[in-house]
Amino acid sequence: MPASSRATAKKPTIKRTSVKSPSTDTPSSPIRDLKLTASADRLLSPEMKAFNRALSKIEKIKAQMVELDALGLHYQRQNAEVLDPLVAKTTANRREMVLFLDARLRAAAEKRQKSLSKTQHETAVRLICNITAALAAEQPEMAEIHDRYSKTSLSDIAKIEAAENQEMMADILQKMGGQMPEGVDAALSPEEILQHLFGEVERLRQVRQARQEARQAKRAAKQKSKAKPDSPQAQAIANQEQAEQTLKTLFRQIASRLHPDREPDEAERQRKTNLMSQANAAYERKDWVTLMQLQLQAEWVDPDHASRLSAQRLHELTLLLKQQAAALETERQGLQAKWSQLLQVPLGLPLTAGMLDMVLNKRRSDLEQQLEIEVADLALIQTDAGLKTVLNEQRKIHRKEEKQQESFNRFIF
């Protein structure tokens, strides 16, 4: 329901509550067990320091992701505790508004009274339809009231919107070079269509990634054939190939030891199956850190294993770690975008405790002001004069919104 233009001059005083950020203290990270340390008879070489820096970057990004999830979950609970009661009160007030307007219009129709003008009657009908459409999902009686006043039923509106969404998404996919997934039709809800769309987008991303990797492999092979054996370009290609071979060798060693089919004990076989799943997932994303941690946990190698590697081998592993850090950073950005959307933080603003405090208190303030106005409107419409006042204000708001939409459409189109 649009806010009445008859707002009170004095806004409700909102007492800001301190919402503490969840503790981000975490126990010692297993990544630190992989770091190389100096000793009395050994200083850290440049290759060792580069290796440690790459591990530190991965450790930092993973810690940021843990903190993002903790912060997001904390404020998701805060939103529920602070905002849900206000939403419930607003919903109950709007339901009362609908029931009153419905009873009033039906009584006037039965008695053939015309206390409202044609414009006021149309505004009342539009107000009923707008509110009931928003409440119908959780209150079936609202759908019945909506369909009694609207020329188009809510079920038909849903089908029309689904068809429009399907057409829009099909157009987007066509521009991306894909097609609407099979089984998607206009009867599906927008959420279901979006789910299919996201699946198709992910499939296209994987196809593009596979093509890109194939092109890179082809380009690398071509460059390798042209590059001089001692050139920096040839050395970089060789390092990348050796790094990937190191990863493959490590995975094969783990797979050989964890093969569940070779384990007679059922409990141990299940444990190895779970570990093998972790190893497979880590190898797929080229996660050397997780693979190495699996080896350390199983005590197949000693913690000081990496320090005995040659400078060249450390350089190759550092290359893998840098690539893993880049992939993790992309994942972290996606996680931040997800929480920003869920917690309604505007795009581009930092996802911090202070920002989430501000967004939460702003939403609470807006809801309390809206509720105060709507409670006053419900009390006002109990009299004929008050009802006409509210309907006239709603008409003005509707006309203003129409003009804004027209201006927006002219700007866009």
- Chain segment 103-158, per-residue pLDDT in tens: 999 998 888 777 899 999 999 999 999 999 999 999 999 999 999 999 999 999 98
The pLDDT value given to residue 334: 86
Tokens of 190: 């927008």
Q: What's the confidence (pLDDT) of residue 349?
A: 86
DSSP state of 262: G
In a domain, 192, yes or no: yes
Show which of 261, 285, 308 is a domain's final residue. 308
CA 197 – CA 190 distance, rounded (Å): 10
State the total domains in the chain.
2
Which comes out higher in pLDDT, residue 132 or 236?
Answer: 132
Cα-to-chain-centroid distance, residue 385: 47
What is the mean pLDDT of the segment spanning 325-352? 87
Q: What is the mean pLDDT of residues 164-170?
A: 73
Task: Examine the fold and report which residue of 259, 283, 308 is the final residue of a domain before the chain moves on.
Answer: 308
Q: Are 372 and 7 in contact (CB under 8 A)?
A: no
Q: Are residues 249 and 217 in the same domain?
A: no
Q: Is residue 164 part of a domain?
A: yes
Do 287 and 248 have their domain in common?
yes
Q: Provide mean pLDDT across the span 280-298.
A: 76
Domain co-membership, 241 together with 300: yes
Please compute Rg for the chain using Cα positions: 31
Tell whether 267 is covered by a domain: yes
pLDDT of res. 258: 74
**pTM score of the predicted model:** 0.66
Whether 252 is covered by a domain: the verdict is yes
In a domain, 302, yes or no: yes
The confidence score (pLDDT) of residue 271 equals: 82
**216 lies in some domain:** yes
Asked if 279 and 239 sit in the same domain, the reply is yes
User: Average pLDDT for residues 258-281, to the nearest whole number?
Assistant: 81
Give the pLDDT band of residue 236 (cuts 50, 70, 90).
Answer: low
In the predicted structure, residue 312 carries a pLDDT above the cut 80: no
| pLDDT higher than threshold 90 for residue 358 | yes
Q: Are residues 178 and 208 in the same domain?
A: yes
Within-domain flag for 246: yes
Task: Enter the tokens of residue 348.
Answer: 């581009």
Residue 138, C-beta contacts closer than 8 angstroms, at least 6 positions apart: none
Q: What is the DSSP string of 364-388?
A: HHHHHHHHHHHHHHHHHTTSHHHHH
- pLDDT band (50, 70, 90) for residue 239: low
Lowest mean pLDDT among 179-193, 241-255, 261-275, 317-331: 179-193
Pick from 287, 308, 329: which residue ends a domain?
308
For residue 194, is it within any domain? yes
Token duo for residue 338 = 């997800």
Domain range spanning residue 264? 233-308
Question: Quick check: 53 pLDDT over 80?
Answer: yes
Contact by Cβ (8 Å): 147, 124? no
Long-range contacts of 356-361 (CB under 8 A, 24+ apart): 356/19, 356/71, 356/75, 356/78, 357/16, 357/18, 357/19, 360/19, 360/75, 360/78, 360/79, 360/82, 360/83, 361/14, 361/16, 361/17
* 298 and 245 inside one domain: yes
The reply to whether 239 and 281 lie within a common domain is yes
Both 241 and 204 in one domain: the answer is: no
CA geometry: angle 155, 122, 90, nearest 5 deg: 65
> Residue 307: pLDDT band by 50, 70, 90 thresholds?
low
Half-sphere exposure of 257 (CA within 13 A, CB side): 14
Q: Does 180 share its domain with 214?
A: yes
d(CA 275, CA 361): 45
CB 124 within 8 A of CB 391: yes
Q: Which pLDDT does position 306 carry in this prediction? A: 60
Cβ neighbours of residue 81 closer than 8 Å, sequence gap 6 or more: none
Average pLDDT over residues 397-402: 91
State mean pLDDT over 340-365.
90
**Of 119-128, 173-182, 292-301, which one has max mean pLDDT?**
119-128
